[in-house]
Amino acid sequence: MVYAVHFAGAVMACYLTAQVLTRSTWTYRAPRVAIVCWQALGLALGLSAIGLPLSMGLAPYGTNVSTALGRLVRGDLPPGFGLVHALQIAAALGVAGVLLGTTVTCGLRAIRAQRRHRELLNLVGRDDPAAPGALVLDHPSAAAYCLPGMRPQVVVSAGTLSLLDRAQLAAVLSHERAHADERHDLVLLPFTGLCRALPWAGWVEAARERVSLLVEMRADDKARQLHADGQLAGALLRFATAPSRVTPAGALGIADTELDARVRRLLTTGRPPRVRGALALAVTLTLVALPVSLFLS
Amino acid sequence: MRLGELERAVMDVLWDRRTPLTVREVAESLHDRELAYTTVMTVLDRLAGKGMVERERAGRAWSYRPAASREAYIAQLMLDALDLAGERDAALVRFARSVSGTEADVLRAALAEEAADGKS
Protein backbone atom coordinates (compact mmCIF):
# COMPACT_ATOMS: atom_id res chain seq x y z
CA MET A 1 0.00 0.00 0.00
CA VAL A 2 2.98 2.22 0.64
CA TYR A 3 3.67 2.28 -3.09
CA ALA A 4 0.14 3.38 -3.87
CA VAL A 5 0.49 6.27 -1.44
CA HIS A 6 3.70 7.33 -3.14
CA PHE A 7 2.11 7.16 -6.59
CA ALA A 8 -0.87 9.14 -5.35
CA GLY A 9 1.55 11.73 -4.02
CA ALA A 10 3.31 11.82 -7.39
CA VAL A 11 0.02 12.42 -9.25
CA MET A 12 -0.84 15.22 -6.84
CA ALA A 13 2.63 16.77 -7.20
CA CYS A 14 2.33 16.67 -11.01
CA TYR A 15 -1.06 18.36 -10.86
CA LEU A 16 0.21 21.10 -8.54
CA THR A 17 3.37 21.65 -10.60
CA ALA A 18 1.23 21.96 -13.74
CA GLN A 19 -0.89 24.56 -11.99
CA VAL A 20 2.18 26.58 -11.06
CA LEU A 21 3.80 26.19 -14.47
CA THR A 22 0.59 27.26 -16.24
CA ARG A 23 0.52 30.49 -14.25
CA SER A 24 4.27 31.28 -14.42
CA THR A 25 5.40 34.02 -16.75
CA TRP A 26 9.15 33.57 -16.27
CA THR A 27 8.67 30.80 -18.85
CA TYR A 28 8.22 33.51 -21.50
CA ARG A 29 11.87 34.43 -21.05
CA ALA A 30 13.08 30.82 -21.22
CA PRO A 31 10.65 28.98 -23.50
CA ARG A 32 13.06 26.16 -24.28
CA VAL A 33 13.62 25.29 -20.62
CA ALA A 34 9.89 25.54 -20.00
CA ILE A 35 9.12 23.21 -22.91
CA VAL A 36 11.50 20.59 -21.46
CA CYS A 37 9.80 21.00 -18.07
CA TRP A 38 6.37 20.45 -19.63
CA GLN A 39 7.54 17.34 -21.46
CA ALA A 40 8.96 15.91 -18.23
CA LEU A 41 5.77 16.81 -16.39
CA GLY A 42 3.58 15.12 -18.99
CA LEU A 43 5.68 11.95 -18.82
CA ALA A 44 5.67 11.99 -15.02
CA LEU A 45 1.91 12.41 -14.89
CA GLY A 46 1.31 9.55 -17.34
CA LEU A 47 3.61 7.16 -15.45
CA SER A 48 2.12 8.08 -12.08
CA ALA A 49 -1.44 7.75 -13.35
CA ILE A 50 -0.65 4.23 -14.55
CA GLY A 51 1.32 3.40 -11.40
CA LEU A 52 -1.40 4.42 -8.94
CA PRO A 53 -4.06 1.77 -9.76
CA LEU A 54 -1.34 -0.75 -10.62
CA SER A 55 0.32 -0.47 -7.20
CA MET A 56 -3.08 -0.69 -5.49
CA GLY A 57 -3.86 -3.88 -7.37
CA LEU A 58 -0.44 -5.33 -6.58
CA ALA A 59 -0.54 -4.35 -2.90
CA PRO A 60 -1.21 -7.94 -1.66
CA TYR A 61 2.28 -8.94 -2.87
CA GLY A 62 3.80 -6.55 -0.35
CA THR A 63 6.77 -5.95 -2.62
CA ASN A 64 7.81 -3.45 -5.30
CA VAL A 65 5.84 -3.04 -8.51
CA SER A 66 8.22 -4.75 -10.93
CA THR A 67 8.74 -7.84 -8.75
CA ALA A 68 5.01 -8.11 -8.04
CA LEU A 69 4.23 -7.73 -11.73
CA GLY A 70 6.69 -10.50 -12.55
CA ARG A 71 5.02 -12.85 -10.09
CA LEU A 72 1.56 -11.94 -11.39
CA VAL A 73 2.61 -12.71 -14.95
CA ARG A 74 3.88 -16.13 -13.82
CA GLY A 75 0.44 -16.78 -12.31
CA ASP A 76 1.70 -16.62 -8.74
CA LEU A 77 -1.22 -15.10 -6.78
CA PRO A 78 -0.64 -14.11 -3.14
CA PRO A 79 -3.21 -14.79 -0.41
CA GLY A 80 -5.76 -12.01 -0.18
CA PHE A 81 -5.64 -11.22 -3.90
CA GLY A 82 -9.26 -10.63 -4.88
CA LEU A 83 -11.49 -9.28 -7.62
CA VAL A 84 -10.91 -5.70 -6.49
CA HIS A 85 -7.18 -6.08 -7.07
CA ALA A 86 -7.71 -7.61 -10.48
CA LEU A 87 -9.98 -4.70 -11.40
CA GLN A 88 -7.39 -2.19 -10.22
CA ILE A 89 -4.74 -3.83 -12.39
CA ALA A 90 -7.17 -3.80 -15.30
CA ALA A 91 -7.76 -0.09 -14.65
CA ALA A 92 -4.01 0.52 -14.82
CA LEU A 93 -3.84 -1.28 -18.16
CA GLY A 94 -6.84 0.78 -19.28
CA VAL A 95 -5.13 4.06 -18.37
CA ALA A 96 -1.97 2.99 -20.18
CA GLY A 97 -4.00 1.92 -23.21
CA VAL A 98 -5.98 5.15 -23.38
CA LEU A 99 -2.91 7.38 -22.97
CA LEU A 100 -0.90 5.53 -25.59
CA GLY A 101 -3.90 4.96 -27.84
CA THR A 102 -5.04 8.57 -28.01
CA THR A 103 -1.50 9.79 -28.65
CA VAL A 104 -1.00 7.29 -31.46
CA THR A 105 -4.45 8.07 -32.91
CA CYS A 106 -3.74 11.79 -32.84
CA GLY A 107 -0.40 11.20 -34.53
CA LEU A 108 -1.92 9.04 -37.27
CA ARG A 109 -4.75 11.50 -37.86
CA ALA A 110 -2.26 14.33 -38.19
CA ILE A 111 -0.14 12.30 -40.62
CA ARG A 112 -3.18 11.52 -42.78
CA ALA A 113 -4.32 15.13 -42.83
CA GLN A 114 -0.78 16.29 -43.57
CA ARG A 115 -0.48 13.87 -46.48
CA ARG A 116 -3.69 15.17 -48.06
CA HIS A 117 -2.59 18.74 -47.42
CA ARG A 118 0.78 18.04 -49.03
CA GLU A 119 -0.85 16.51 -52.11
CA LEU A 120 -3.05 19.56 -52.66
CA LEU A 121 -0.11 21.89 -52.00
CA ASN A 122 1.84 20.02 -54.62
CA LEU A 123 -0.84 20.86 -57.17
CA VAL A 124 -1.64 24.49 -56.36
CA GLY A 125 1.31 25.89 -54.37
CA ARG A 126 3.82 27.84 -56.40
CA ASP A 127 7.39 28.99 -55.94
CA ASP A 128 7.90 32.70 -55.68
CA PRO A 129 11.20 34.59 -55.65
CA ALA A 130 9.68 36.86 -53.01
CA ALA A 131 9.48 33.94 -50.56
CA PRO A 132 12.58 31.80 -51.01
CA GLY A 133 12.22 28.27 -49.67
CA ALA A 134 8.48 28.58 -49.19
CA LEU A 135 5.44 27.72 -51.27
CA VAL A 136 2.94 30.44 -52.04
CA LEU A 137 -0.84 29.97 -52.09
CA ASP A 138 -2.73 32.44 -54.24
CA HIS A 139 -5.24 33.59 -51.68
CA PRO A 140 -5.87 37.12 -50.39
CA SER A 141 -6.10 36.11 -46.70
CA ALA A 142 -2.90 36.38 -44.72
CA ALA A 143 -1.65 32.93 -43.70
CA ALA A 144 1.77 31.60 -42.79
CA TYR A 145 2.33 28.11 -41.53
CA CYS A 146 4.61 25.12 -41.51
CA LEU A 147 3.50 21.70 -42.64
CA PRO A 148 5.60 19.46 -40.38
CA GLY A 149 6.99 16.05 -41.23
CA MET A 150 10.04 14.34 -42.63
CA ARG A 151 10.05 16.85 -45.48
CA PRO A 152 8.64 19.96 -43.82
CA GLN A 153 7.20 22.70 -45.99
CA VAL A 154 6.77 26.35 -45.14
CA VAL A 155 3.74 27.94 -46.81
CA VAL A 156 2.63 31.55 -47.04
CA SER A 157 -0.36 33.03 -48.83
CA ALA A 158 -0.28 35.83 -51.37
CA GLY A 159 -2.08 37.87 -48.73
CA THR A 160 0.96 37.54 -46.47
CA LEU A 161 3.30 38.65 -49.25
CA SER A 162 1.36 41.87 -49.68
CA LEU A 163 0.94 42.37 -45.93
CA LEU A 164 4.63 42.20 -44.93
CA ASP A 165 7.74 43.93 -46.17
CA ARG A 166 10.76 41.91 -47.23
CA ALA A 167 12.55 41.90 -43.86
CA GLN A 168 9.40 41.01 -41.95
CA LEU A 169 8.65 38.17 -44.32
CA ALA A 170 12.18 36.80 -43.87
CA ALA A 171 11.67 36.81 -40.09
CA VAL A 172 8.34 34.98 -40.45
CA LEU A 173 9.90 32.35 -42.70
CA SER A 174 12.67 31.79 -40.13
CA HIS A 175 10.02 31.42 -37.44
CA GLU A 176 8.22 28.74 -39.44
CA ARG A 177 11.45 26.95 -40.28
CA ALA A 178 12.26 26.81 -36.57
CA HIS A 179 8.99 24.93 -36.01
CA ALA A 180 10.03 22.43 -38.65
CA ASP A 181 13.64 22.05 -37.47
CA GLU A 182 12.73 21.46 -33.84
CA ARG A 183 9.72 19.25 -34.65
CA HIS A 184 7.37 21.31 -32.53
CA ASP A 185 4.51 19.21 -33.87
CA LEU A 186 5.91 16.26 -31.90
CA VAL A 187 6.37 18.46 -28.82
CA LEU A 188 2.64 19.23 -28.93
CA LEU A 189 1.45 15.73 -29.84
CA PRO A 190 1.39 14.18 -26.32
CA PHE A 191 -0.55 17.16 -24.99
CA THR A 192 -3.08 16.95 -27.80
CA GLY A 193 -3.39 13.25 -26.99
CA LEU A 194 -3.88 14.02 -23.30
CA CYS A 195 -6.59 16.56 -24.16
CA ARG A 196 -8.45 13.93 -26.14
CA ALA A 197 -8.05 11.37 -23.36
CA LEU A 198 -9.30 13.82 -20.70
CA PRO A 199 -11.65 16.20 -22.56
CA TRP A 200 -13.34 17.25 -19.31
CA ALA A 201 -10.10 18.33 -17.61
CA GLY A 202 -9.81 22.07 -18.13
CA TRP A 203 -6.34 22.19 -16.64
CA VAL A 204 -5.03 19.75 -19.28
CA GLU A 205 -6.42 21.99 -22.02
CA ALA A 206 -4.82 24.99 -20.30
CA ALA A 207 -1.51 23.14 -20.23
CA ARG A 208 -1.75 22.35 -23.93
CA GLU A 209 -2.45 25.98 -24.78
CA ARG A 210 0.46 27.05 -22.64
CA VAL A 211 2.84 24.63 -24.38
CA SER A 212 1.66 25.79 -27.80
CA LEU A 213 2.32 29.39 -26.79
CA LEU A 214 5.80 28.45 -25.54
CA VAL A 215 6.49 26.70 -28.83
CA GLU A 216 5.59 29.89 -30.70
CA MET A 217 7.86 31.90 -28.41
CA ARG A 218 10.70 29.44 -28.96
CA ALA A 219 10.28 29.85 -32.73
CA ASP A 220 10.20 33.64 -32.22
CA ASP A 221 13.52 33.41 -30.39
CA LYS A 222 15.10 31.39 -33.20
CA ALA A 223 13.91 33.95 -35.75
CA ARG A 224 15.16 36.78 -33.56
CA GLN A 225 18.67 35.31 -33.58
CA LEU A 226 18.76 35.72 -37.36
CA HIS A 227 17.00 39.02 -37.98
CA ALA A 228 17.12 42.59 -36.82
CA ASP A 229 15.14 43.32 -33.69
CA GLY A 230 11.64 44.47 -34.35
CA GLN A 231 11.10 42.71 -37.69
CA LEU A 232 9.23 39.81 -36.17
CA ALA A 233 7.33 42.06 -33.78
CA GLY A 234 6.34 44.20 -36.76
CA ALA A 235 5.18 41.15 -38.68
CA LEU A 236 3.15 39.95 -35.68
CA LEU A 237 1.47 43.32 -35.34
CA ARG A 238 0.59 43.41 -39.01
CA PHE A 239 -0.88 39.93 -38.74
CA ALA A 240 -2.85 41.01 -35.71
CA THR A 241 -4.41 43.90 -37.57
CA ALA A 242 -4.86 42.12 -40.89
CA PRO A 243 -8.52 41.74 -41.86
CA SER A 244 -8.16 37.96 -41.70
CA ARG A 245 -5.64 35.26 -41.22
CA VAL A 246 -5.79 31.49 -41.38
CA THR A 247 -3.65 28.98 -39.55
CA PRO A 248 -4.31 25.32 -40.16
CA ALA A 249 -4.11 23.37 -36.93
CA GLY A 250 -1.74 20.44 -37.14
CA ALA A 251 0.36 22.78 -39.15
CA LEU A 252 2.12 25.24 -36.89
CA GLY A 253 1.25 28.81 -37.61
CA ILE A 254 2.25 32.27 -36.66
CA ALA A 255 0.11 34.86 -34.98
CA ASP A 256 -2.70 32.92 -33.43
CA THR A 257 -1.95 32.57 -29.73
CA GLU A 258 -1.66 35.38 -27.27
CA LEU A 259 -0.11 37.75 -29.74
CA ASP A 260 0.13 40.43 -27.16
CA ALA A 261 2.47 38.49 -24.86
CA ARG A 262 4.63 37.54 -27.82
CA VAL A 263 4.97 41.06 -29.17
CA ARG A 264 5.75 42.50 -25.75
CA ARG A 265 8.55 40.04 -25.03
CA LEU A 266 10.05 40.65 -28.48
CA LEU A 267 10.30 44.37 -27.78
CA THR A 268 12.14 43.94 -24.47
CA THR A 269 15.25 41.98 -23.67
CA GLY A 270 14.91 40.42 -20.25
CA ARG A 271 17.61 38.42 -18.56
CA PRO A 272 17.02 34.68 -18.74
CA PRO A 273 15.54 33.47 -15.43
CA ARG A 274 18.36 31.06 -14.58
CA VAL A 275 17.43 30.31 -10.97
CA ARG A 276 13.75 29.70 -11.62
CA GLY A 277 14.51 27.74 -14.78
CA ALA A 278 16.96 25.48 -12.94
CA LEU A 279 14.50 25.02 -10.10
CA ALA A 280 11.67 24.09 -12.46
CA LEU A 281 13.94 21.64 -14.29
CA ALA A 282 15.00 20.03 -11.03
CA VAL A 283 11.41 19.68 -9.82
CA THR A 284 10.03 18.23 -13.06
CA LEU A 285 12.93 15.83 -13.59
CA THR A 286 12.49 14.62 -9.99
CA LEU A 287 8.82 14.08 -10.78
CA VAL A 288 9.83 11.80 -13.66
CA ALA A 289 12.39 9.97 -11.54
CA LEU A 290 9.83 9.34 -8.79
CA PRO A 291 7.44 6.98 -10.64
CA VAL A 292 10.35 5.37 -12.51
CA SER A 293 12.09 4.51 -9.25
CA LEU A 294 8.78 3.35 -7.75
CA PHE A 295 8.34 0.96 -10.66
CA LEU A 296 11.88 -0.38 -10.41
CA SER A 297 12.81 -0.28 -6.74
CA MET B 1 11.01 15.06 -63.93
CA ARG B 2 9.59 14.14 -60.52
CA LEU B 3 6.17 12.55 -60.27
CA GLY B 4 4.85 15.50 -58.24
CA GLU B 5 5.85 17.94 -60.97
CA LEU B 6 4.21 15.74 -63.60
CA GLU B 7 0.97 15.65 -61.66
CA ARG B 8 1.05 19.37 -61.35
CA ALA B 9 1.76 19.89 -65.04
CA VAL B 10 -1.12 17.58 -65.99
CA MET B 11 -3.51 19.36 -63.61
CA ASP B 12 -2.46 22.71 -65.05
CA VAL B 13 -3.38 21.49 -68.52
CA LEU B 14 -6.78 20.25 -67.35
CA TRP B 15 -7.48 23.47 -65.48
CA ASP B 16 -6.39 25.75 -68.31
CA ARG B 17 -8.31 23.94 -71.07
CA ARG B 18 -11.61 23.89 -69.15
CA THR B 19 -12.95 20.89 -71.06
CA PRO B 20 -12.58 17.13 -70.50
CA LEU B 21 -9.44 15.84 -72.22
CA THR B 22 -8.28 12.41 -73.31
CA VAL B 23 -4.85 11.07 -72.40
CA ARG B 24 -3.66 11.83 -75.93
CA GLU B 25 -4.86 15.44 -75.76
CA VAL B 26 -3.12 15.95 -72.43
CA ALA B 27 0.09 14.42 -73.82
CA GLU B 28 -0.13 16.72 -76.86
CA SER B 29 -0.51 19.77 -74.63
CA LEU B 30 2.65 18.71 -72.85
CA HIS B 31 4.54 17.94 -76.05
CA ASP B 32 7.44 20.21 -75.13
CA ARG B 33 8.17 17.86 -72.23
CA GLU B 34 8.32 14.84 -74.56
CA LEU B 35 6.35 12.55 -72.28
CA ALA B 36 5.40 9.03 -73.30
CA TYR B 37 1.69 8.37 -73.70
CA THR B 38 1.90 5.71 -70.99
CA THR B 39 3.54 8.17 -68.59
CA VAL B 40 0.67 10.61 -68.96
CA MET B 41 -1.80 7.76 -68.55
CA THR B 42 -0.08 6.65 -65.32
CA VAL B 43 -0.14 10.18 -63.94
CA LEU B 44 -3.84 10.61 -64.77
CA ASP B 45 -4.54 7.24 -63.18
CA ARG B 46 -2.80 8.29 -60.00
CA LEU B 47 -4.67 11.59 -59.94
CA ALA B 48 -7.96 9.74 -60.42
CA GLY B 49 -7.01 7.40 -57.59
CA LYS B 50 -6.47 10.38 -55.29
CA GLY B 51 -9.79 11.88 -56.34
CA MET B 52 -8.14 14.91 -57.96
CA VAL B 53 -9.58 14.18 -61.43
CA GLU B 54 -12.75 12.45 -62.60
CA ARG B 55 -13.01 10.38 -65.75
CA GLU B 56 -15.79 9.41 -68.10
CA ARG B 57 -16.08 7.39 -71.28
CA ALA B 58 -15.72 9.47 -74.44
CA GLY B 59 -16.18 7.01 -77.30
CA ARG B 60 -13.39 4.43 -77.03
CA ALA B 61 -11.15 6.52 -74.76
CA TRP B 62 -11.47 7.94 -71.27
CA SER B 63 -11.63 11.67 -70.89
CA TYR B 64 -10.52 13.42 -67.75
CA ARG B 65 -11.50 16.62 -65.99
CA PRO B 66 -10.44 18.19 -62.67
CA ALA B 67 -12.59 17.17 -59.71
CA ALA B 68 -12.46 20.77 -58.45
CA SER B 69 -11.07 24.11 -59.52
CA ARG B 70 -7.67 25.40 -58.51
CA GLU B 71 -9.38 28.05 -56.38
CA ALA B 72 -11.38 25.37 -54.55
CA TYR B 73 -8.21 23.49 -53.65
CA ILE B 74 -6.59 26.68 -52.41
CA ALA B 75 -9.70 27.42 -50.35
CA GLN B 76 -9.55 23.87 -48.97
CA LEU B 77 -5.94 24.34 -47.94
CA MET B 78 -6.79 27.63 -46.29
CA LEU B 79 -9.67 25.95 -44.49
CA ASP B 80 -7.69 22.92 -43.38
CA ALA B 81 -7.89 24.21 -39.85
CA LEU B 82 -11.29 22.58 -39.74
CA ASP B 83 -10.15 18.99 -39.94
CA LEU B 84 -6.43 18.68 -39.36
CA ALA B 85 -4.57 17.08 -36.46
CA GLY B 86 -7.53 15.23 -35.03
CA GLU B 87 -8.49 18.13 -32.82
CA ARG B 88 -11.55 19.27 -34.63
CA ASP B 89 -12.96 21.22 -31.70
CA ALA B 90 -9.76 22.98 -30.80
CA ALA B 91 -9.15 23.70 -34.48
CA LEU B 92 -12.53 25.33 -34.89
CA VAL B 93 -12.02 27.56 -31.89
CA ARG B 94 -8.62 28.55 -33.16
CA PHE B 95 -9.93 29.22 -36.62
CA ALA B 96 -12.74 31.42 -35.37
CA ARG B 97 -10.31 33.32 -33.23
CA SER B 98 -7.87 34.02 -36.01
CA VAL B 99 -10.27 34.64 -38.89
CA SER B 100 -13.18 37.01 -39.07
CA GLY B 101 -16.52 35.23 -39.33
CA THR B 102 -17.30 36.67 -42.75
CA GLU B 103 -13.97 35.47 -44.12
CA ALA B 104 -14.70 31.89 -43.01
CA ASP B 105 -18.18 32.20 -44.51
CA VAL B 106 -16.77 33.39 -47.82
CA LEU B 107 -14.35 30.45 -47.93
CA ARG B 108 -17.08 27.96 -47.08
CA ALA B 109 -19.48 29.48 -49.60
CA ALA B 110 -16.83 29.18 -52.31
CA LEU B 111 -16.42 25.49 -51.49
CA ALA B 112 -20.18 24.86 -51.37
CA GLU B 113 -20.63 26.55 -54.74
CA GLU B 114 -17.85 24.41 -56.14
CA ALA B 115 -19.49 21.24 -54.83
CA ALA B 116 -22.82 22.26 -56.41
CA ASP B 117 -21.12 22.94 -59.75
CA GLY B 118 -19.45 19.55 -59.66
CA LYS B 119 -22.80 17.77 -59.35
CA SER B 120 -24.69 19.64 -62.05
Chain A positions touching B73 (Cβ under 8 A) are 120, 123-124
Indicate the Cα dihedral angle A219, A225, A228, A230, nearest 10°.
40
pLDDT at residue B119 is higher than 70: no
Domain edges within chain A: 2-296
Q: What are phi and psi of B22, to 5 degrees?
A: -85, 170
pLDDT of residue A23: 92
Measured CA to CA, the distance from residue A181 to residue A190 in angstroms comes to 18
User: For residue A250, what pLDDT is reported?
Assistant: 47
Q: Which residues of A touch B52 (CB under 8 A)?
A: 119, 123
Highest mean pLDDT among A182-186, A202-206, A278-282, B109-113: A278-282
Q: Is A248 in contact with B84 (Cβ distance < 8 A)?
A: yes
* pLDDT for A31 beyond 90: yes
> Please, what are the domains in chain B?
3-66 (1.10.10.10), 70-119 (no CATH)
For residue B13, is pLDDT > 50?
yes
pLDDT tens, position by position, A158-170: 888 888 899 999 9
Task: Choose from B98, B105, B106 for mutation: most chain A CBs within 10 A.
Answer: B98
Q: Of the ranges A79-83, A211-215, B55-59, B114-118, which one carries the lowest mean pLDDT score? A: B114-118
Q: Is the pLDDT of residue A233 over 70?
A: yes
pLDDT in tens, B61-109: 889 999 998 988 888 888 764 333 334 333 222 222 344 444 555 556 6
Q: Name residues whose C-beta falls within 8 Å of residue A288's C-beta, 6 or more positions apart in sequence.
A: A40, A43, A44, A47
- pLDDT at residue A113 above 50? yes
What is the C-alpha to C-alpha distance for residues A283 and A269, in angstroms, rounded to an integer? 27
CA distance B61 to chain A (A): 25
Residue among A106, A122, A251 whose CB faces B7 most closely: A122
- pLDDT recorded at residue A199: 87
Checking ipTM against 0.85, whether it exceeds it is no
**Of A177, A142, A262, A176, residue with least CA distance to A213:** A262
B54-63 pLDDT tens trace: 999 888 888 9
Question: Is A112's pLDDT higher than 60?
Answer: yes
User: What pLDDT shows up at residue B115?
Assistant: 59
Most confident of A105-114, A274-283, B25-34: A274-283
Give pLDDT, residue B96.
Answer: 27
List B residues 60-89 in contact with A (Cβ-Cβ < 8 A).
Answer: 70, 73-81, 83-87
Query: Per residue in A236-260, pLDDT tens?
Result: 877 766 655 455 544 555 444 467 7
What are the pLDDT digits (tens) for A4-26?
899 999 999 999 999 999 999 89
